[in-house]
Structure 1
Amino acid sequence: MTHDHDLVLRPTAAQREAALNPPPGRNGGDLVVETLAGLGATTVFGLPGQHALGVFDALRRSSLRYVGLRVENNAGFAADAYGRITGEAAPLLLSTGPGALTSLAALQEAAAASAPVLAISSQIPSPGLGGGRHGYLHELPDQAASFQGVVKSVHTARTQSQIPSAIAEAWKSALTAPHGPVWVEIPQDVLLAPTSLPVVTAMDATPDDLVPRPELTSVAAELLSGAARPAIIAGGGVVRSDASGKLRRLAELLDAPVVTTYGGKGAFPWAHPLSLQSWLEDRHTTDFLEDADVLLVVGSGLGELSSNYHTFRPRGRVIQIEADLGKLESNHPALGIHADARLALQALLETATERRDPGAAERVREVLSRVSDRIASQELTLEQSLLTAVRRALPARSPSFWDMTILSYWAWCGFDPRGTNLMHSSQGSGGLGYAFPAALGAAVADPTHPVLAVSGDGGALYSIAELATARQHDLPVTWLIIDDGGYGILREYMTDAFGEPTATELTRPDYVALSESFGVPGVRTTPESLETDLTRALATPGPSVVVLPAVLRMFAPTHLGQGG
């Protein structure tokens, strides 16, 4: 009897000949790029550095496309977006010490958003490893320790023969649910040394399936099928696992209203009769969800933003489907199902029975009407009109990327992405500077649709250098910069808390003139002409900048006891 583990893949004659006679002039860096190509990578992001030159030299002998950014953190944001858009692990090539550490904030966002980023960094030469202080340039006492608490897994290759397996293991980790960033480091001398090892060909790094336990999905299906007032919260896990179609079928089977978290934007059709949209920072929505007798939470840990700043107190039975074990029941007691959202929803579809609730759609309309009336009472017409203008200008299949700025906070709640995996922001970890470099990564992944980035002037200053990247690669990204003269949301927070702001006001450049100095066309717009100017910019090939001088306000919060 033959078992699977007894099977050995036998090389073809051509593979055997190539293995016995590898081409000359290869080094350890070639093993890195050959492994990436063998795993299916086509594009890598990064920034060169002294210890990593072996990898970058090898790139010119490979078929991989290299997209270099100007700051490592921005390269990480670009890789993050590439991973989100393609669902593939996005290689990020970094150098030792300062270069590696500069990527940390981007990797934190990738971890929070479950974006598959494969970071590969150089290390100091092998004789210096081990925690000593040898005086090497860029040396850290323990570089991997700096990333241990941020990424999913850390892998070190200390010899050339370890490189293919270490990278394949990291690749598998990045793409096994929950997706996330991983870290590989390789010493400089290992990358530079000539190698006689065979050319790396096909690598097997198939992700593991995270399958739900059937006894748990059976109980969940029974609870949902027999519920009087079921409701669903859909998070980013639905988007990452490409499960929006299954979510819709389950919601329709159960007549269950659905609200999407900010990370789950697009997981459920915005205009569907059962769609509560994304108004999570609203007491009317919170009350509705608390009143559900069975609440299905899919692909969300119900963190700060998804729980209306931890004011959410569900009264019914909660069922939580979550691929990240650490998030399972971390905020609310639940029937916890540790599984990939797609596989768990499929199991529920196979076991749940149809329930009809003719009044469900009417209750959804009532909640949305109350939310609309509350916003209308605050006289925030400028902010609403700007969001409407952006939506009208942005083509239906174009992705958008949003920085931590006031218009983004509005968009989290009130923007219709018109599709799954089309709206992304840095609300996972909340760092500044995400939108523009992430939009560049998305444009690299799919240049057939124009991409929109939205930043405030504070966040824009983090990313200005990448105008050079946009121009160099001629990427179809339009960057909308809302210029309010400072850190607008922090200005609001401080004024509310202390009566006046401190450290929020900024001297900033003329963004139009600055963008044009990079060879990127720029235009200064007004609220009245935003839709026209943004439409024109998005329709023009290559990068562009649209600057809107405006001071925006947030809608009033409605946490516990603040409804109305």
Structure 2
Amino acid sequence: MMSEQNQKEFTTADAVVKELVRAGVEVAFGIVSIHNMPIYDAILREGSIHLVCSRGESGAVNMADGYARATGKLGVVITSTGTGAGNAAGSLIEAWAAGVPVLHLTGEVASPYLGTGRGYIHECKDQLSMMEGSCKKAARLRRPEQAAAVVRQAIQNAFAYPAGPVTLEIPIDFQSAIIPNHPIEEIITTAPTNKTIPSLPEEAITKICHARRPVIWAGGGVISSGASREVEALAEMIGAAVITSQSGKGSIPENHPQCIGHFAASKLTKNLLQTADLLISIGVRFRGNETSNWKVPVPKEHIAIDADWLAINRNYEATCGLVGDAKQILQALNEELCHKSITPDPSYLDEVQSVREELRAQLRATLGPYEQILDGMREVLPLNTILVRDVTVQANVWGSRLFEIYEPRTSIHASGGGIGQGLPTAIGAQMSDKDRTVVLMAGDGGFMVNVGEMATAAQEKLPLIVVLFDDAGYGVLRNIQSAAYGRQVAVDLLSPDFVLLAKSMGFAASRIGSPTDFVAELEKAVDNKKPTMIVVDMEAVGPMAKPFGGPPGAADAFKPKKL
């Protein structure tokens, strides 16, 4: 609905906002600027979209990313031109790496000055190319009258497989241009069909029916397609072990006896894969850091299910590729298999459960006092808590593996590996549901990258819980450097008093030095439902039983060697 500050003319900015509302957008993140003010004013006048004012463009993109991951909806971010768009680039790369549907609306200099190099304020030499390199796709509005069509196409592109962030540049003079307010309707011309379940090649059905030691590898495509129930049903029907990528956590409840989880590069999992007779991969990217740079062995027989044509055979050869929506394919597969005579091998299921339990026991043995913190978190936090993890030792070692996830879209991490994006990503996730418990695991080094976004969380009155592991530096890099070189450089950091800083930003805050104190403070934070920071003094808590040296082989990669 329009506010009292109405205007008679319909502008390009109004067309943009009309398309956002049409797409169901309820929240947008960003920073207002002289190069996007008409869009902001149009949002104000329309009245239904809540604007979250971030403290930086980088954080704004992460917020839109986190919101989209937590909801499955479109994330929307609005930035300025030039430097503002450049600040957004790194976080857009993260959204691209994770395959998250984000619409990035950015201003541009006035159209007569595009590409002239005359020094128009906020001018960038080639902003469109910069955005193209950071996104799935970048486009520029070239005629104000096409605004509705171009925005609608950008939104469709963001969701089209493989999903990802799309940037749309709108020159500042176009944003206020008066244009016709004519409807554009999408007309479906193809004949309807009653056949909604796709047919499957008999070869795939036969391979599955004959398999005695099957493994399912579930990735982020399972989450984005809403296929978690189908994956669990398939696993139980055929008696498969289930490995998940980090993006695929929540594809199957992690307390399920067949769930190996995010342990693909572990020795026991490799041994299991070497003796498996069939791999069914579903929406998996097979990232280098999750496969020891593709050294994890896979069975010769491999059925790959993915919505992206180019994903098939990109990292591991598939003997049968099924391209399409994972949920629809799995529904068809399960329907076919339920009519077959398949009896899972009880001895194999016992072996899978044994591997599952041993993997967790081995990792727990490395944690030292942090095992109590892990158990305290899982005991205190609601089962549907959204756990957001920045790149830090505790998140990498046990937050991404031992903290059990039971539902899709409740596990969010940095797919691209960049530090410092956790706080704004958690803010976006919390904006999806202010009644949901959202917890961020972060390290002191990474946290300082976007520390100003604490003010955004406080301004929005979000009950976000930040668990900050403070070791006064970059802990992962310390360990890798020590193993590779026997010395350290540029990893020790002078940090502020995080408790005072948090309180000055409107957070409740405390510093703890023992697991017992941590659990007590976490219980308070969950009950209080207001912005809270718990600083874990890692020196006081004590070291892990075994230092984390990064992914397997990380230290060896940096030692001097002949090429």
Instruction: State TM-score, norm by structure 1.
Output: 0.89
Aligned to 2:460, which of 460, 466, 473? 473
Structure 2 residue matching 1:413: 3-state secondary structure: coil
Equivalent-residue separation in structure 2 for 1:205 and 1:531 (angstroms): 56
Equivalent-residue separation in structure 2 for 1:316 and 1:37 (angstroms): 48
Q: Does the Cα contact within 8 Å between 2:197 and 2:331 map onto a contact in 1? A: no
Question: Structure 1: which amino acid aligns with 2:68?
Answer: G
- Tell whether 2:81 aligns with 1:96: yes
- Tell whether 2:171 aligns with 1:187: yes
Equivalent-residue separation in structure 1 for 2:77 and 2:478 (angstroms): 35
- CA displacement at 1:293 relative to structure 2: 0.9
Q: Does the Cα contact within 8 Å between 1:169 and 1:205 map onto a contact in 2? A: no
- For 1:149, the equivalent position in structure 2 comes to 133
Aligned to 1:358, which of 330, 339, 346? 346
Q: Does the Cα contact within 8 Å between 2:364 and 2:371 map onto a contact in 1? A: no
Question: Structure 2: which amino acid aligns with 1:466?
Answer: E
Equivalent-residue separation in structure 2 for 1:324 and 1:505 (angstroms): 42
Q: Does the Cα contact within 8 Å between 1:239 and 1:266 map onto a contact in 2? A: yes
Q: Does the Cα contact within 8 Å between 2:28 and 2:78 map onto a contact in 1? A: yes
- CA displacement at 1:124 relative to structure 2: 0.8
- For 1:125, the equivalent position in structure 2 comes to 110
Q: Does the Cα contact within 8 Å between 2:437 and 2:526 map onto a contact in 1? A: yes
- CA displacement at 1:556 relative to structure 2: 6.7
- CA displacement at 1:58 relative to structure 2: 1.4
- For 1:319, the equivalent position in structure 2 comes to 303
Instruction: State TM-score, norm by structure 2.
Output: 0.89
Q: Does the Cα contact within 8 Å between 1:121 and 1:185 map onto a contact in 2? A: yes
| Cα distance, 1:490–1:213 mapped onto 2, change above 3 Å | farther
1:442-484 residue CA offsets vs partner (Å, 9 max, x unmatched): 1111112121111100111012111111111101101111000
Aligned to 1:406, which of 393, 401, 405? 393
Aligned to 1:524, which of 511, 520, 524? 511
- For 1:299, the equivalent position in structure 2 comes to 283
Equivalent-residue separation in structure 2 for 1:108 and 1:212 (angstroms): 35
- For 2:59, the equivalent position in structure 1 comes to 74
Question: Structure 1: which amino acid aligns with 2:13?
Answer: G
Q: Does the Cα contact within 8 Å between 2:101 and 2:164 map onto a contact in 1? A: yes
1:185-230 residue CA offsets vs partner (Å, 9 max, x unmatched): 110000123x242276877899xxxx99967653222211111211
- Tell whether 2:523 aligns with 1:535: yes
- For 1:448, the equivalent position in structure 2 comes to 435
Equivalent-residue separation in structure 1 for 2:461 and 2:10 (angstroms): 32
- CA displacement at 1:315 relative to structure 2: 3.6
Structure 2 residue matching 1:45: 3-state secondary structure: strand
1:511-543 residue CA offsets vs partner (Å, 9 max, x unmatched): 000011112111111222111111211221221
| 1:246-325 alignment runs, 5 A limit | 246-325=230-309
Question: Structure 2: which amino acid aligns with 1:238?
Answer: V
1:74-131 residue CA offsets vs partner (Å, 9 max, x unmatched): 11111001111121111111111111111112111111111111111111111122x3
Q: Does the Cα contact within 8 Å between 2:454 and 2:505 map onto a contact in 1? A: yes
| Cα distance, 1:200–1:49 mapped onto 2, change above 3 Å | farther
- For 1:10, the equivalent position in structure 2 comes to none
Equivalent-residue separation in structure 2 for 1:132 and 1:256 (angstroms): 60
Equivalent-residue separation in structure 2 for 1:214 and 1:290 (angstroms): 32
- CA displacement at 1:369 relative to structure 2: 3.6
| Cα distance, 1:558–1:29 mapped onto 2, change above 3 Å | closer
Structure 2 unmatched ranges of 5 or more? 190-194, 554-563
User: What do you get for the CA RMSD once the two structures are aligned?
Assistant: 2.4
Structure 2 residue matching 1:183: 3-state secondary structure: strand
Which segment drifts farther, 218-227 or 551-560?
551-560
Question: Structure 2: which amino acid aligns with 1:108?
Answer: I
Structure 1 unmatched ranges of 5 or more? 1-17
| Cα distance, 1:283–1:557 mapped onto 2, change above 3 Å | farther
Question: Structure 2: which amino acid aligns with 1:197?
Answer: P
Q: Does the Cα contact within 8 Å between 2:388 and 2:441 map onto a contact in 1? A: yes
Question: Structure 2: which amino acid aligns with 1:340?
Answer: D
| Cα distance, 1:41–1:535 mapped onto 2, change above 3 Å | same
Structure 1 residue matching 2:462: 3-state secondary structure: coil
Q: Does the Cα contact within 8 Å between 1:292 and 1:316 map onto a contact in 2? A: no
- CA displacement at 1:324 relative to structure 2: 2.9
- For 2:220, the equivalent position in structure 1 comes to 236
Equivalent-residue separation in structure 2 for 1:225 and 1:126 (angstroms): 61
- Tell whether 2:334 aligns with 1:349: yes
- For 2:70, the equivalent position in structure 1 comes to 85
- CA displacement at 1:271 relative to structure 2: 1.5
Equivalent-residue separation in structure 1 for 2:188 and 2:95 (angstroms): 20
- Tell whether 2:500 aligns with 1:509: no
| Cα distance, 1:377–1:398 mapped onto 2, change above 3 Å | closer
Equivalent-residue separation in structure 2 for 1:405 and 1:56 (angstroms): 36
Which segment drifts farther, 407-416 or 483-492?
407-416
Equivalent-residue separation in structure 1 for 2:234 and 2:251 (angstroms): 13
Report how many aligned residue pairs link the two structures.
532
Aligned to 2:180, which of 175, 179, 197? 197
Structure 2 residue matching 1:149: 3-state secondary structure: helix
| Cα distance, 1:502–1:216 mapped onto 2, change above 3 Å | farther
Question: Structure 2: which amino acid aligns with 1:397?
Answer: N
- Tell whether 2:536 aligns with 1:548: yes
Question: Structure 1: which amino acid aligns with 2:170?
Answer: I
Structure 1 residue matching 2:167: 3-state secondary structure: strand
- CA displacement at 1:57 relative to structure 2: 1.7
Question: Structure 2: which amino acid aligns with 1:545?
Answer: M
- CA displacement at 1:28 relative to structure 2: 2.2
Q: Does the Cα contact within 8 Å between 1:153 and 1:183 map onto a contact in 2? A: yes
- CA displacement at 1:158 relative to structure 2: 1.9
- For 1:7, the equivalent position in structure 2 comes to none
Q: Does the Cα contact within 8 Å between 1:168 and 1:204 map onto a contact in 2? A: no
Structure 1 residue matching 2:261: 3-state secondary structure: coil
Which segment drifts farther, 81-90 or 546-555?
546-555
1:412-451 residue CA offsets vs partner (Å, 9 max, x unmatched): 121201222101110x101111221111111111112121
- For 2:35, the equivalent position in structure 1 comes to 51
Equivalent-residue separation in structure 2 for 1:168 and 1:558 (angstroms): 41
Equivalent-residue separation in structure 2 for 1:203 and 1:525 (angstroms): 57
- For 1:494, the equivalent position in structure 2 comes to 481
Equivalent-residue separation in structure 2 for 1:50 and 1:310 (angstroms): 47
- CA displacement at 1:180 relative to structure 2: 1.3
Equivalent-residue separation in structure 2 for 1:93 and 1:472 (angstroms): 19
Question: Structure 2: which amino acid aligns with 1:272?
Answer: H
Equivalent-residue separation in structure 2 for 1:454 and 1:156 (angstroms): 37
- CA displacement at 1:558 relative to structure 2: 8.9
Aligned to 1:434, which of 421, 429, 434? 421
Equivalent-residue separation in structure 2 for 1:71 and 1:238 (angstroms): 32
Question: Structure 1: which amino acid aligns with 2:475?
Answer: G
Which segment drifts farther, 309-318 or 119-128?
309-318
Question: Structure 2: which amino acid aligns with 1:506?
Answer: L
Q: Does the Cα contact within 8 Å between 1:293 and 1:316 map onto a contact in 2? A: yes
Q: Does the Cα contact within 8 Å between 1:94 and 1:122 map onto a contact in 2? A: yes
- CA displacement at 1:491 relative to structure 2: 0.8
- CA displacement at 1:312 relative to structure 2: 0.6
